[in-house]
């Protein structure tokens, strides 16, 4: 079997650099996400230090990274608890949609985009990054905080909305009719609702299927099942992240505890590739001309996400500081916005650089703001289990 020297060398240098950047971020008590994103920006095709041989591997690893991040997040909660929280936050989903999609649509109108362009930009400003936020909550040890279920409920409801939105955008961007778009949306939403219902009804069987005393067997079974479910979710134009999150929710007790332990190293490796891949997707040369518009849009929709998070956390009776943490956690945009550019970008070439700059700004600023906004004055962090939540 032929081994690519260039691939091994470039990948080795990337991993070593990420290790140094991660250590630097930890030393400053920051999340390493912004530094990983900047590293990806420099490693792109037109970046300062391009790595063409490793690029394909990084993109493939990024898809696995988002799946593992949401699987690990699902393992922190029970399906019953989360289903109740999600139903409770349907009004939060309405606030989220109005507060964050409307500014994007208005910006598209002001920039002279057509209806498809306005729809695409509305989606890019609406959806927060599940991958970045999942890693961020873990980095800051906030998975056990009182506001975290409200943040996760908003994220999953956004993924539900994306299941309806992405088929509509894909059909309209390719010149299809509205009835075709609506049909695709109905199929996707029906599939996601069915998956949730099936998990609630028969989810306990998944734990029996995955459980095994040997860690290797547990890891292989769990990852195999997660990848299959994630692929099925993508097949119906839902999010692979939703599928992975569902698998994590269905595992409870000792199986969930052991599952978290065996996937943590893999999650950290592939999650780093996910953040690098977001940076790789941005062409640095195209950023400067659209940066003023991207910064203005980021400022407006960053504030509207804070308002969304505050409203959602307030519905759970969270205190003032916890409401601020919830709002700040939702600021980051990422994977869905990049997908939207991929769907609509070929038909709207002026949209791609704007969304790329917008995503990069908020993907970097979001974790930094979250680190400091609403932080507790004490140095100690709460436990990372959802079952022992500290006061807000």
What secondary structure does DSSP assign to 277-311, as a single string?
A: HHHHTS-GGGHHHHHHHHHHHHHHHHHHHHHHHHH
The answer to whether the pTM exceeds 0.85 is no
Which pLDDT score is estimated for 347?
Answer: 61
DSSP secondary structure of 141-160: T-TTSTTHHHHHHHHHHHHH
Whether 121 has a pLDDT exceeding 60, the answer reads yes
The residue extents of the domains of the chain are: 5-50+58-372
Q: How many CB atoms lie within 10 A of CB 42?
A: 16
The pLDDT tens digits of the residues spanning 302-321 come to 999 999 999 999 999 999 99
What fold characterizes domain 5-50+58-372? Na+/H+ antiporter like fold (1.20.1530)
- Collapse the DSSP code of 344 into the 3-class scheme (helix H, G, I; strand E, B; otherwise coil) and give the result: helix
Whether 218 has a pLDDT exceeding 50, the answer reads yes
Whether 376 has a pLDDT exceeding 70, the answer reads no
Whether 381 has a pLDDT exceeding 50, the answer reads no
- Let me know the angle formed at the C-alpha of 230 by 237 and 61, rounded to the nearest 5 degrees: 105
> Distance from CA of residue 353 to its chain's centroid?
20
R_g of the chain, CA atoms, integer Å = 20
Nearest to 274 by CA among 36, 81, 114, 52: 36
The pLDDT tens digits of the residues spanning 7-66 come to 889 899 999 999 999 899 888 877 888 888 888 888 876 667 777 788 888 888 988 988
Higher pLDDT: 208 or 221? It is 221
For the chain, the average pLDDT equals: 84
To the nearest whole percent, how much of the chain has pLDDT over 70?
90
Higher pLDDT: 354 or 381? It is 354
Nearest to 63 by CA among 243, 332, 247, 282: 243
């Amino acid at each position: 079997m032929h081994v690519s020297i260039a691939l091994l060398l470039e990948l080795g240098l990337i991993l070593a650099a990420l290790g140094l950047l991660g250590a630097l971020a930890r030393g400053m008590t920051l999340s390493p996400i912004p530094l990983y994103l900047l590293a990806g920006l420099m490693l792109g095709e037109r970046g300062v230090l391009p790595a063409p041989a490793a690029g394909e591997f990084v993109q493939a690893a990024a898809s696995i990274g988002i799946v593992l991040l949401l699987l690990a997040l699902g393992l922190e909660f029970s399906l019953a608890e989360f289903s109740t929280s999600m139903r409770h936050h349907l009004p939060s989903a309405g606030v989220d949609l109005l507060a964050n999609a409307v500014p994007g649509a208005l910006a598209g109108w002001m920039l002279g985009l057509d209806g498809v362009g306005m729809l695409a930009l509305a989606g890019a400003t609406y959806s927060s990054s599940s991958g970045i936020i999942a890693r961020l909550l873990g980095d800051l040890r906030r998975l056990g905080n009182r506001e975290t279920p409200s943040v996760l409920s908003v994220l999953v409801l956004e993924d539900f909305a994306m299941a309806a939105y992405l088929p509509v955008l894909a059909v309209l961007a390719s010149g299809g009719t509205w009835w075709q778009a609506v049909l695709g949306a109905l199929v996707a939403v029906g599939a996601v609702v069915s998956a949730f219902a099936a998990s609630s009804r028969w989810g306990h069987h998944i734990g029996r299927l995955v459980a095994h005393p040997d860690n290797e067997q547990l890891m292989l079974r769990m990852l195999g099942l997660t990848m299959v479910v994630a692929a099925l979710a993508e097949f119906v134009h839902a999010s692979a992240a939703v599928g992975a999150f569902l698998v994590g929710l269905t595992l409870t007790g000792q199986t969930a505890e052991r599952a978290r332990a065996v996937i943590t190293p893999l999650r950290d490796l592939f999650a780093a590739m996910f953040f690098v891949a977001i940076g790789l997707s941005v062409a640095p040369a195209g950023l400067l001309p659209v940066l003023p518009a991207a910064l203005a849009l980021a400022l407006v929709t960053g504030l509207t996400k804070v308002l969304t998070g505050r409203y959602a956390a307030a519905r759970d009776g969270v205190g003032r500081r916890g409401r601020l943490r919830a709002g700040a956690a939702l600021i980051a945009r990422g994977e869905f916005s990049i997908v939207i550019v991929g769907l609509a970008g070929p038909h709207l070439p002026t949209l791609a650089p704007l969304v790329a700059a917008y995503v990069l700004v908020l993907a970097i600023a979001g974790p930094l703001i979250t680190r400091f906004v609403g932080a507790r004055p004490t140095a100690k962090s709460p436990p990372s289990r959802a079952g022992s939540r500290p006061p807000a």
